[in-house]
Amino acid sequence: MNHLNARVAAFAVVWATMAWCAEPAPTPAPVPTPGATPDATPAPDVAAPKPGLHLIHATSGEDEYLGPYYNPSVDPANKLVYADDGRGSLWRWSLDDLTADPVCFAAPPPQEPGYRFPVAAPAGGLVAAFQAWRPDLPTARKRVAVSFLRPDGKRIAGGLPLFFTDGRYNGALSIAWKPGGELVAFYLTVGVDTPGLYVFRPSDKYWVRGGGTPATYGQPQGRLQWQPDGRSLSEATPGHLVLRGGANFVPYGKIDTAATLHTWLDGETLLLHDPDRGLVEVDISGAVKGTIGGWPGPLGGDGNATLAVVQGRRLAWIRALATDGAGRVDYGLYVAVLGAAAGNDVFRFTAHTGYAWGNAGPVWLPDKDALLVSVPPAPPPAPVSPTTPTPPLPH
């Protein structure tokens, strides 16, 4: 009997330490789209898109629902797509068959938080992802680890230590892979320090903290980009776009601008996301080459639009169209062509305030007229305050 109990106990230990990918949570039933369209006419009484991952055809606006998955990322070299399920597991599709069921890439490690916000390297097959410990643990800030996973889903051991981070530095847009996939840059705050730039080389687990940004530049916005040829890193601060390079990635140049986001078009040209002027096309010296309207959108404010993603001469971003004033916002996937007077909102959905400033930007599929967009579960309607019934008048 003791021998049997020992075997049962051993099995229980093995069971408890195994990592499993649970089936994705069922999708809630769609609800009518609230709010108003930009011209203030009532929104049509149609079912809202289901929460989860949507394949949107850029020209026609055709929508194919892929399931309750979020925060997509593309590995173009290996023709793969990754996304999380909001419950700690990462899932993977083949770019050649996105309508097939995905396979589980990585499950939550035993006794650890699960993975969120996968960011696939453009080459080499590695995937970065965040693990966020609960904010109610012994510090006032959320503890975060950046993990790196091999193509087989196994984590690279002995990588980065555990950091403390503020929310806006914890997400897909604060991780940037070098175009060759050999280096990855990201922001994390350590203790009570200002955000620090770190560059990590997964092949030998070497990492370095980037040289400090001059205090006069202001605190970094937590959004990084590499030049397409990998020569420099670029970061946005409140008054400048800072260029970094060298062995310690120290600042060596800047463009004076109020833009909080930016997108490289090629090795010498950028789009600066200016809340007042829209998308401003500049060369690396800062000389303006043109502007593109439509960003950030009808509601204005850089927090109401995502980073513009580029495919050739086409751009796409998610922008806020209308709000009910109670935390529910109607968003549109806006597609435009460089040089065109305007584009179109080809897909609409409802989400919470602040969604666009988070980590849910659209993703172009390589060599396809299509994008991936993740729609979060819609927030519940604002509660209605109970009213006190009016007493009847005396007879």
Looking at the domain assignment, is residue 362 inside a domain? yes
Among the listed ranges 69-78, 123-132, 141-150, 363-372, which one has the minimum average pLDDT value? Answer: 141-150
The C-alpha atoms of residue 233 and residue 242 are separated, in whole angstroms, by 8
* Mean pLDDT, residues 224-247: 87
Among the listed ranges 114-128, 179-193, 210-224, which one has the minimum average pLDDT value? Answer: 210-224
Q: Which two tokens stand for residue 81?
A: 């797509």
Looking at the domain assignment, is residue 133 inside a domain? no
Domain count, the chain: 1
Looking at the domain assignment, is residue 84 inside a domain? no
Question: Is the per-residue pLDDT at 359 higher than 70?
Answer: no
Which domain does 365 fall in, by range?
31-68+311-379
* Mean pLDDT, residues 361-372: 94
Residue 107 dihedral angles phi and psi, to the nearest 5°: -95, 165
C-beta separation of 206 from 200 below 8 A: yes
SS3 assignment, position 217: helix
Q: Quick one: 193 exposed, middle or buried, by C-beta within 10 A (0-12, 13-18, 19+)?
A: exposed
**Nearby residues of 391 by Cβ (< 8 Å), 6 or more positions away:** none
Looking at the domain assignment, is residue 329 inside a domain? yes
**Nearby residues of 261 by Cβ (< 8 Å), 6 or more positions away:** 221, 223, 236, 272, 273, 302, 307, 308
**Nearby residues of 363 by Cβ (< 8 Å), 6 or more positions away:** 72, 73, 74, 309, 371, 372, 373
* Mean pLDDT, residues 248-274: 86
Among the listed ranges 21-25, 61-65, 187-191, which one has the minimum average pLDDT value? Answer: 187-191
Looking at the domain assignment, is residue 199 inside a domain? no
Looking at the domain assignment, is residue 92 inside a domain? no
pTM: 0.82
Rounded to 5°, angle at Cα 205 from 202 and 209: 100
Looking at the domain assignment, is residue 370 inside a domain? yes
Looking at the domain assignment, is residue 336 inside a domain? yes
Q: What are the residue ranges of helices labelled H in the chain?
A: 2-17
Q: Pick the residue with more confidence: 36 or 357?
A: 357
Q: Pick the residue with more confidence: 22 or 3?
A: 22
pLDDT tens column, 275-305: 777 888 898 888 888 888 788 888 887 778 8
